[in-house]
Structures are given as structure tokens and as C-alpha cells.
Amino acid sequence: MGPFLVLLAATLTPAPAIAGDIRAVEFGNGEVTLRFDDLVAGASTFLLAGPDRIALDIAGAEPGAARGGGRYRPRGASGAADADTTRVVLDLAQPAILSDGRFAADGRSLTFRLNPVSAGEFERAARRPRVELQPPVQFRAKPPEKRYSVTIPIGRPKPAVALPRIDGPANPRLPLVVIDAGHGGHDPGAISPHSGKREKDITLALARAIRDDLIASGRVRVALTRSDDRYLVLEERFGIARRMKADLFISVHADASENEQANGASIYTLSEVASDREAARLATRENKANIINGVDLGAHSSDVSSILLDLTQRETMNVSADFARLLQREASDGMKFRTSAHRFASFVVLKAPDTPSVLFETGFISNKGDAEFLASADGQKKVARGVRDAVQIHFARQIASQ
Ligand code: ZN
């Protein structure tokens, strides 16, 4: 087996009607080969960095006899595979990538070249989306049902809201950043117990300040989901970003707490599992923006489409998390962050599967100092400067890694 150790992530659910067993995982001649005893539906592969691993998801397959040679992780421990997919994880002693993936003509085996690469090359390759492979059509098992995918109903408001204006250089090749001022219209968001200032006004002022600074940089184009005091359901907010094919979506908010001492900014990215109880509570509160008089304006729209939240979102979520860390780093000079500033929770507004998205809680409106800072022109400039710097570095990195 050389430098590789095979781990199998087994599924603990009953076998589907059609499934090939993975009979063997073999190494030799710089190749890795998976053998099946029956047809499988397809395969996909991607890299996981730190520790370096290669993951192979075999759709419509059971771990089978290969089970004997491997170690098992309980389902989900590796972040992962759905009920009809078996994940084979190659733990790498040295960085390597797969290439030339091909199924045999009868669909019963799958072979890759295993190429040693430098650590830097591996890291770059790990940022790429997964590679999908399919057996020859006549030797392909029926695609498995994705029983473990989470289907989120997405209301498609009718008529679709008009797309906002794009500001900045008239160069369509420049990245487009969509800034979303949280709340608006009959949804005021949180309200300061000291000054009565409303979150919806603060977020709009911040969004404008961020837009102005980004435009001044000359490096990106910018659009605001709202540039006045209007109500948008959460799906319309990220829907605008998706329809405009935005490269980055930043939803701007201000937090609130019963504890008036609580202060500092935090940045949230999407996860089905919240990083802590407070993050889960905040997501519940922010998601309530859709519910007016008990009617959920997002989910109950007559024309309902859906977005599958599954592993295809992994890449987007990684880019979002990278940007969240960068934003904290770049904005820390001018504003205060909480100690564990990057958190995760299930925010509806972050659920565009293909647009890297963060929710920026710029501070606590319930805290006197934070509220004054966020309502002041000086504070807004500092927030905007942090966002601008992070955005510039973010896109410079993206270009460098292409
Ligand atoms: Zn909010």
C-alpha cells in the first residue's frame, strides 16, 4: 500500500436496491484502482488539506469486502457522504493528487494516476471543486436517491424584485460585490435601548459607506440589495446576488443582547450546525425577518423552487470562511471584534449555494459604545475601510490562485 492508508467511511443505512460493493482498493505502478462487484452510479473526488487526504465518493456503492482492510469512521465524522455513497479516504503521507480518472469499459473498476506534488500545489488543488466521473452509460447504476440532502424551500417572490444598479468602473470583468443592508421597511431589526436607533438605519448607512469606499478603490463593482428604507425577504436578498452572479455577498447587521455590556463585531458564515448556542439563537432571530404577523413570506410563496444544500456547497463555504477570517484581520485596526469572532450558523440569507457569503454583525446596538460608533460617520468609515481592504486582498488572492 505504499505511503497510503485506506480509510472507509461506511454508511450505516440499509443497502439500496442497486449497489455495487467496493471489492478492493489497490495501489501499484503509480496508480490507484477501485474494483466493484456490480455497477455503481458514479464517482467524484476532491482533496482535503491539513491533514492531506484524497476523498473518493462512490455513488451507489457499499463498502463491501474492502471493509475488511480499512478502519471505519462513523457516518458524518468526515463531514459527509450521503446514504448511498461510500467515501474512501486516502490518508497521504506525502502530498499527491489524482489525475486521469477513468472507469473501465465494463464500469467495474475505476483507476487514477497518483501524482506526487509539492505542498503548495496540493493546497492550490485542494481549493478546486470536486471532479465528477461517470461509468459508461450502459454500465451505470441508477443514480442513488440523496436521502440525506437537506432541501431548503426557497420562495421565489412574484414579481421578482428589480435588480439594483451596479456602481463602479464599467468593466464587467471586475468582481461584483453585493452589499446587503439588513432589515428595512416594516422590519426595523434590533433597536437601541439608549438612543432608539434602529438596526435598519444603521445597516443602510454602513452599506452606503462600504459601497463608497469600494468604488473609490477602483478594483470592484458594487451593488446594494436596497438603497432606501424598504422591506425585502431574505430570499430576495441573496436572490439578487445570485441573479447578478455576484462574486461576494456581504450582509450587514448589528447584534443585540439583553446584556448591555456585550460588545464587539462578529462574522458569520453558513453551516447547518451552529458553532454555539448563541450563534443558533442569533440565526433564529435574523431568520425571523421573513415572518410578519406569523406569515412566513419567504417559504410560503406560491412559486417555490428549492436549492439543494449538499457537498457542492463545500467550495463556496470554504471561500466564505476564508473571507470571514480576512475581514476580521483587516478590520481589526479600526473596530473592535469579539474574542471568537468567526462563527457558524444556519442563516437563510447566506444560503446562495454558489455565492461566497458572510453575515457581518458589526457590533451590538444594545451596547452604548458600539451603537454610538456604528451611528457615527467616523465609525462607519472605519467599518468601510476594513471591508474594502479585505475585499481587495480577497480578490487579489483569488486571481493569484487561478
Ligand atoms: Zn439583523
The domain spans of the chain are 4-139, 176-292+302-401
Distance between Cα 200 and ligand 1 center (Å) = 8
Tell me the pLDDT band of 303, cut-offs 50, 70 and 90.
very low
pLDDT digits (tens, 9 = 90+) for 352-379: 878 999 999 999 999 999 999 999 999 9
Whole-angstrom Cα distance, residue 302 to residue 311? 28
Q: What's the CATH class of domain 4-139?
A: mainly beta
Distance between Cα 301 and ligand 1 center (Å) = 22
- Tell me the HSE value of 321 on the side-chain side, using a 13 A CA sphere: 12
Distance between Cα 190 and ligand 1 center (Å) = 7
Of the two residues 214 and 140, the one the predictor is more confident about is 214
Mean pLDDT of 10-20: 46
Copy the grid coordinates of residue 324. 470571514
Distance between Cα 238 and ligand 1 center (Å) = 15
Report the pLDDT value the prediction gives residue 372, as an integer from 0 to 100: 96
Q: Which strand (E) or helix (H) includes residue 53?
A: strand 53-59
Whole-angstrom Cα distance, residue 303 to residue 154? 9
* pLDDT of 301 strictly over 70: no
Distance between Cα 27 and ligand 1 center (Å) = 53
* pLDDT of 293 strictly over 60: no
Judged by DSSP in three states, 257 sits in coil
Whole-angstrom Cα distance, residue 314 to residue 164? 28
Whole-angstrom Cα distance, residue 379 to residue 279? 25
**How many other CB atoms are found less than 10 A from the CB of residue 375?**
18
Report the pLDDT value the prediction gives residue 297, as an integer from 0 to 100: 53
Whole-angstrom Cα distance, residue 244 to residue 331? 27
Distance between Cα 11 and ligand 1 center (Å) = 39
Q: Tell if the pTM clears 0.85, that is, is over it.
A: no
Q: Which of 20-29, 121-130, 381-390 has the highest mean pLDDT?
A: 381-390
Distance between Cα 396 and ligand 1 center (Å) = 30
Cis peptide bond upstream of 153, omega within 30: no
Q: Average pLDDT of the chain?
A: 80
Distance between Cα 244 and ligand 1 center (Å) = 23
Distance between Cα 189 and ligand 1 center (Å) = 5
Distance between Cα 360 and ligand 1 center (Å) = 9
CA gyration radius for the chain? 24
Distance between Cα 241 and ligand 1 center (Å) = 18
Distance between Cα 151 and ligand 1 center (Å) = 24
Domain topology for 176-292+302-401: Aminopeptidase (3.40.630)
**How does strand 221-224 pair with strand 176-181?**
parallel
Do the two domains 4-139 and 176-292+302-401 of this chain adopt the same fold? no
Whole-angstrom Cα distance, residue 383 to residue 368? 17
Inter-residue contact 227 to 241 (CB < 8 Å): no
Distance between Cα 59 and ligand 1 center (Å) = 40
The backbone torsions φ and ψ at residue 389, rounded to the nearest 5 degrees and listed phi first, read: -60, -45
Distance between Cα 384 and ligand 1 center (Å) = 18
Cell 431574505 maps to which residue? 234
Distance between Cα 197 and ligand 1 center (Å) = 13
Whole-angstrom Cα distance, residue 24 to residue 110? 11
Distance between Cα 206 and ligand 1 center (Å) = 13
